[in-house]
Structure 1
Amino acid sequence: MSSPSYHQGHALLVGVSTYQHISSLPTAILNDVKDIAATLSSADYCGYAQDNVVSLLNADATRQTVLAGLGALAARAGEDDTVCVYFSGHGAVLPSAGGDDSALLTVDSDLADLAGTAISSADLAAALGQIQAKRVLVFIDSCHAGGAVLSKGLTDGQGHEFKSGYSPSAFAKLAVGTGRALMASCRADEESGVFTGARNSIFTTALLAGLKGAAEKDNSGVIKVFDLFEYVAEEVPKAVSDDQHPVFKADNLEQNFPIALSRGGRKSLTSTSTPSMPVDADRWRQLEQCLVELFPTGPREQELWTRAGGDLSKLQLYGSGQAMWHSAMRTLKQGGGGKNINFGSLIAVAKEDFPNHQLLTSL
């Protein structure tokens, strides 16, 4: 019997450490791309077809070839496919009238002419917009701390200087569209760490572990998008004393969709976990209304969220209690909010406080 495969998976992986006109970055960047390519195309891990995983490194990663690679993705990926785009290298923040914009710097990028030699967020968003796949995930590992002073600024010694990194507005722009999501290595005011002598960057070390199975939560045999980000978001700060926090952006993403096989699609024979049953939209809405009524100040009231196995640090706790509950329930529905919380555990803990509540019992 043939091994399971994730034939619908497609990937374009770009890594630049040695630039023509800009100072170099750590060689770990090239290892990042090579190791992600090997993991995605491995029958023992993600199960992508090797022909569907394209890598562009250093001299091969020009502005023209990267845009051509994105065009090739659009040509071969269908609506029901999954597309991953990964970039590791320099990013530059570009001041503009509408707020800071950003650009990914390819090997031939010239600070004297970034408009013509780099890939702006508008260029990248337009290229991603041509991809018909309903599941598109973009990874950006930029603003590398391993580049010493380069992590704070880019200069060519000829008077052209730009802030290094990628702006929040550019992150948001790349996540626009149904089924689109972006995962970045750090916040705009942080640095993406690379330990001296390490094979991979801190972000990609966690990403690789997640793709190799650590991010699988329900013994389903697949890695899902929200589970992967939650795993990476928890692991990266541990490695750098809470100095680096990955960013996740999604504009219209309701489902925790699969992006790859986990451990070649093999399900653990010893696992006692069972996949959670799907919950329809009406039940989510009813539970939210119930929690707003019973715990009007929000998820922190009576330590409800924590007692249900959740992590308050994963929530946006501002605004009215109703607003906090709406945000928290959306996060939970997407698979976030903590490793051990789910629809059932939240109801169970709420019933401890209100054992005779009719709606809680019916849910």
Structure 2
Amino acid sequence: MKTLHLPKTLGRIAALLAPSLFVIASAAAPGAAATKGMVKRSDLEIVDCLLPGQVRQLGNSSFLSQRRPIRTTASECSIRGGEYVAYDRADLQSALRIWMQAAESGDVEAQTNVGEIYERGMGVTPDYEAAAKWYQKAADKNYARALFNLGTMYEQGLGVPQDGLKALNLYRQAWGVPEDSIIFTSAAQREQEELRKELDAAIAEKDAQLGLLQKQLKDLQEQLAKQPAVEQTADNSSKEIEALKRWIAQLEQERRKSTERLAGIPKTRTPQGTTELAQLPPTADERTLQGMNFGRYYAIVIGNQNYQSIESLETPKYDAARAARILADRYGFTVSILEDANDITMLKAINDLNAVLKPEDNLLIYYAGHGARLQSGKSEAGYWLPVNADAPPKDTFWVPNEQITGHLGRLPAKRVLVVADSCYAGLLSTDPSYLFLNDKVTYSKDYIKFKLPKRARLLLSSGGDKPVLDEGSGGNSVFARAFLDELENNQGILSSPELFSRIRKRVEIAAQKNKFVQVPEFKSIKGAGHEVGDFFFVPRVRS
């Protein structure tokens, strides 16, 4: 199975690096990063860790508190005296054992983690009904992450009846948006219109089917009535009549349910105008605007191009260099560049940010390189391939999406956006598409105020679960060219859904010119602590 970009020679690879950029990694020498500082790959992997209880003093008595579950690196878990499963981390029961006691005692974070474990399956077939049950327990206590996760279940119809409006309402609650908010009403109105069309079409289809079946039933009954009683006994017409009656009754029941559901769709007021982002002035201080604190901006930019054991690529280094320059110069990011990084370098760079990032900060991770996927039973796993990766199916050095998600979940930054330009990049998230996204929605100052306090873990990928083009124009891949052009030309505050809506059609058209189908995706990264937040690009004032 060839799980690579589709390379094409595109000429030079060049970079103009600003003072705020620096290259922090290169894996030209195999194993160099692995031995430096005695860092091992296993030390950097995220595990479900059960920490020992605390010795507490109450008056003259001492007691040991209940053991505490956390998600952390294997190294930190060992240092803190914790317990984790070292050689079977894909086992569902071992992961549940860590979190279940706290979940049963009512801890909303633990309940949500249990739901995520059931939903992902962790090496076994997912149990969506169990996942929805545990999400509901935490959602009943208004825990934002559980509300959002439960919304994704209703949007997809996993473990619960599929219901887009209920999903939208759960997203609204997780977001903290009042029902009369323009942001919610505009999205709800769109969803209601689509549902009405769908139900009207279903009812019309049932009416047509019922008309045909009732006519067929009438004809059979008349035909049977004309036959002598002896012949009726031996005729199969009576059996057909009974089958038709059952079919008609079933269709009538389905039509009745659709009619009741149509009647139950609530009415929402038509949203009025709002202040557009484009009307907000730029700011010399990229951290604040009109009293809103956007925090500091950091980026890790990975360009894996020269592979040791598999086919090398043409554009990742140039894509990464241009991305780093635009992020630093245009938006004030502090950027770290990883060129031709191995697995340890990639995971360590992300893990080390725990000592740098603060709760109000922003992190963008840009990855350009090979991607892969492996099928295991009914589940499928996606991977980023470091330059020391072996060819499939030997995945010893591959970096699984599950580990990337685990690291993103424990980073303190409020807002994290992963931009992945690789094959199968969409597998980093199994969430449905971003439901609030709409080309006609106006992203206002109110939108920013609602979104800023919420955690965001978002994925903008070059494609779904298929190969993508490693070619384009100007030395960039198709996706990178669209993404970086939009960032470079942008003049105002830019939200990630708006950025996605700008580049999606550009990528599809450019890919078609190469006789290729490529559809970018924008999703939340469930399991990493997403709470319906957003990521904002705030450009510097040009002197």
TM-score by length of 2: 0.39
**Map of 1:1-363 to 2, 5 A cutoff?**
3-6=284-287, 8-26=296-314, 28-42=315-329, 45-48=330-333, 52-58=334-340, 61-111=341-391, 114-143=394-423, 165-166=424-425, 168-172=426-430, 178-195=455-472, 198-214=474-490, 221-241=492-512, 243-250=517-524, 251=526, 252=530, 254-258=532-536, 260-262=537-539, 264-265=540-541
| Equivalent residue number for residue 309 of structure 1 | none
Task: Measure, in 1, the Cα distance between the counterparts of 2:389 and 2:535.
Answer: 35
Task: Measure, in 2, the Cα distance between the counterparts of 1:131 and 1:175.
Answer: 24
- The alpha carbon displacement at 1:188 in A equals 1.7
Task: Measure, in 1, the Cα distance between the counterparts of 2:533 and 2:393.
Answer: 40
- The alpha carbon displacement at 1:240 in A equals 2.4
For the 8 Å contact 1:11–1:53, the answer to whether it is kept is yes
Aligned partner of 2:322: which letter? D
2:396 aligns to what SS in structure 1?
helix
Q: What whole-Å deviation, never above 9, does each CA across 1:210-229 have from its counterpart, x for those lacking one?
A: 21243x5xxxx322211111
Aligned partner of 2:478: which letter? I
For the 8 Å contact 1:12–1:73, the answer to whether it is kept is no
Task: Measure, in 2, the Cα distance between the counterparts of 1:245 and 1:207.
Answer: 13
- The alpha carbon displacement at 1:174 in A equals 12
Query: For the pair shown, which has the larger CA radius of gyration, 1 or 2?
Result: 2
Distance 1:256 1:64, change over 3 A: closer
Aligned partner of 2:494: which letter? I
Task: Measure, in 1, the Cα distance between the counterparts of 2:316 and 2:427.
Answer: 24
Task: Measure, in 2, the Cα distance between the counterparts of 1:33 and 1:181.
Answer: 19
Task: Measure, in 1, the Cα distance between the counterparts of 2:432 and 2:344.
Answer: 19
1:17 aligns to what SS in structure 2?
coil
Aligned partner of 2:328: which letter? S
Q: What whole-Å deviation, never above 9, does each CA across 1:33-68 have from its counterpart, x for those lacking one?
A: 0001000110xx1122xxx3111112xx01111111
Q: Which runs of 5+ in 2 are unaligned?
A: 1-282, 288-294, 435-453
- The alpha carbon displacement at 1:192 in A equals 2.8
2:430 aligns to what SS in structure 1?
helix
Percent identity among equivalent residues?
26
TM-score by length of 1: 0.57
Task: Measure, in 1, the Cα distance between the counterparts of 2:327 and 2:532.
Answer: 24
Task: Measure, in 1, the Cα distance between the counterparts of 2:471 and 2:286.
Answer: 32
Distance 1:94 1:175, change over 3 A: farther
- The alpha carbon displacement at 1:172 in A equals 2.5
For the 8 Å contact 1:135–1:180, the answer to whether it is kept is yes
Task: Measure, in 1, the Cα distance between the counterparts of 2:391 and 2:409.
Answer: 26
- The alpha carbon displacement at 1:202 in A equals 1.0
Task: Measure, in 2, the Cα distance between the counterparts of 1:75 and 1:174.
Answer: 32
1:183 aligns to what SS in structure 2?
strand
Count matched residues.
228
| Equivalent residue number for residue 45 of structure 2 | none
Aligned partner of 2:365: which letter? V
For the 8 Å contact 1:4–1:47, the answer to whether it is kept is no
Task: Measure, in 2, the Cα distance between the counterparts of 1:193 and 1:265.
Answer: 33
Aligned partner of 2:468: which letter? E
For the 8 Å contact 1:37–1:53, the answer to whether it is kept is yes
Distance 1:131 1:55, change over 3 A: same
Distance 1:229 1:253, change over 3 A: farther
Q: Which runs of 5+ in 1 are unaligned?
A: 144-164, 268-363
Distance 1:130 1:14, change over 3 A: same
1:125 aligns to what SS in structure 2?
helix
For the 8 Å contact 2:296–2:362, the answer to whether it is kept is yes
- The alpha carbon displacement at 1:31 in A equals 0.6
